[in-house]
Amino acid sequence: MASIKKKGERKFKITVSNGYRAGKKIAKAMTITVPQSVPKRGIQQYVAHEAVELERLVKYGFSEDGEMTFEEYAGKWLERQTKYAPSTIESYRRMLQRVYPFIGSIKLNRLRPIALENMLIELRKRTFRGKPIQEATVQKYLTTVSAVLTDAKRNEIIQRNPARMIDLPDTEQREQFIPSQEQVMHLIEELKKEPAHFFAFYMMAMITGCRRGELCAMKWSDLTLKKKLQYITIQNSRSSVAGLGVVEGKTKNGKTRVIALDYQTTFNLICYGLKKKSQAEERGEELNDYMFCDDDGKLVHPETFTKHLRRIYDRLGFPKEFHLHTLRHFFVTTLLHNGVDKQTVAELAGHGDTSFLERTYCHRQIITKPSGAGS
């Protein structure tokens, strides 16, 4: 509760305490003068209202941490985001660096929706390869800002998240290009001509829907073979991070998941593993812990898998919109089209909930025509 001390007919000192920090009492005092426009009978009500307002501000932390700038708090927030993959944290860092010139110096308790709206206006002026950036990209910056402010609200440093008070325009939904069954069969036949690690990598991408980084981090120890149950545990990710090279960390959302494997996939993996073990013995080496190594037992750079598949697509005459992530799209849409519920699909794909799934996959998709039938 606030304490009120009268210092004059219309002058009052209001003091609010908010516990202790490191043995030191946290308190904020404010002296107010009641305007002459307030009648004598309204003075007590006016002072009581000011006391309530000061107490609200102090209780929500404005007196201490609320004085931090957005950039200061965001930096500390980044340091605490250890559960995400290094590539995800680095993407947050890049986006925050982009918004700091607009809101970085503003104190948390002074950050208002209008400042964020002005930030969005400036971000929409940016271009990428000579073209204006898409509204969806602009809103990703705001999403990152909102994550920081939500954390500040959770810690009772601010009362509201101003990023959630902004009325945003609808974003254009990107059309997902999904290969037809015939194209997938053509791709599999082409992959059989490739070195074993490429064939195994791309097949696992289609069968498990794993992200590139998750596949690159797969180890033989992640594979569990039981009499009636075979599965792969997805728990790490190896990604190329700007300025850091290839870094291994947790999965994108920081969670581990398990994906059951069918008999044929398990058999193919066992055969692939035996081949890799034989190659290692010929070199006088132990089998590499990681699944997807080249014929010399060396780890393959993640970008190599992306670029190599692009060349295979070109040979087959597949649409230029196809990329490595297309195999993940194929996995998700195949499950959805076969009646698997969205929650299960989201869990298998490594999404925290179904919202991303609904935004990305549950709208218009383009099932491409088979090669040779036109693009």
Q: Hey, is 10 helix, strand or coil?
A: coil
Q: Is residue 170 part of a domain?
A: no
176 has a pLDDT exceeding 80: no
Q: Is residue 372 part of a domain?
A: no
Boundary of a domain, candidates 113, 134, 165: 165
Q: Is residue 53 part of a domain?
A: yes
On whether both 22 and 116 belong to a single domain, the answer is: no
On whether both 158 and 299 belong to a single domain, the answer is: no
350 has a pLDDT exceeding 80: yes
Angstrom distance (rounded) from CA 375 to CA 368:
7
On whether both 55 and 89 belong to a single domain, the answer is: no
319 has a pLDDT exceeding 50: yes
92 has a pLDDT exceeding 70: yes
Angstrom distance (rounded) from CA 326 to CA 333:
10
On whether both 185 and 161 belong to a single domain, the answer is: no
Q: Hey, is 124 helix, strand or coil?
A: coil
On whether both 112 and 7 belong to a single domain, the answer is: no
Q: What is the CATH number of the domain that holds 152?
A: 1.10.150.130
On whether both 54 and 195 belong to a single domain, the answer is: no
The total of structural domains in the chain comes to: 3
Q: Which residues of 35-69 are buried (b: 16+ CB within 10 A; e: fewer)?
A: eeeeeeeebeebbeebbeebbebbebbbbebbebb
From the list 149, 179, 134, the residue with the least C-alpha distance to 319 is: 179
On whether both 362 and 253 belong to a single domain, the answer is: yes
On whether both 80 and 54 belong to a single domain, the answer is: no
State the average pLDDT over residues 308-324.
94
Pair of tokens at residue 230: 């075979």
Boundary of a domain, candidates 165, 187, 221: 165
Across 22-165, the runs of DSSP E, i.e. the strands, are: 24-33, 127-128, 131-132
The 10s digit of each residue's pLDDT in 257-289 is 999 999 999 999 999 999 999 999 999 999 999
Domain that holds residue 213: 176-367
Angstrom distance (rounded) from CA 62 to CA 107:
10
The 10s digit of each residue's pLDDT in 190-239 is 999 999 999 999 999 999 999 999 999 999 999 999 888 899 999 999 98
Q: Is residue 94 part of a domain?
A: yes
Q: Is residue 171 part of a domain?
A: no
On whether both 183 and 262 belong to a single domain, the answer is: yes
From the list 349, 313, 311, the residue with the least C-alpha distance to 328 is: 349
Q: Residue 327 contacts by C-beta under 8 Å, 6 or more apart in sequence?
A: 202, 205, 206, 209
On whether both 55 and 78 belong to a single domain, the answer is: no
On whether both 229 and 352 belong to a single domain, the answer is: yes
DSSP assignment of 216-274 equals HT-BGGGEEE-SS-EEEEE-EEEEEETTTEEEEEE-TTS--EEEE--HHHHHHHHHHHH
On whether both 91 and 190 belong to a single domain, the answer is: no
Q: Is residue 31 part of a domain?
A: yes
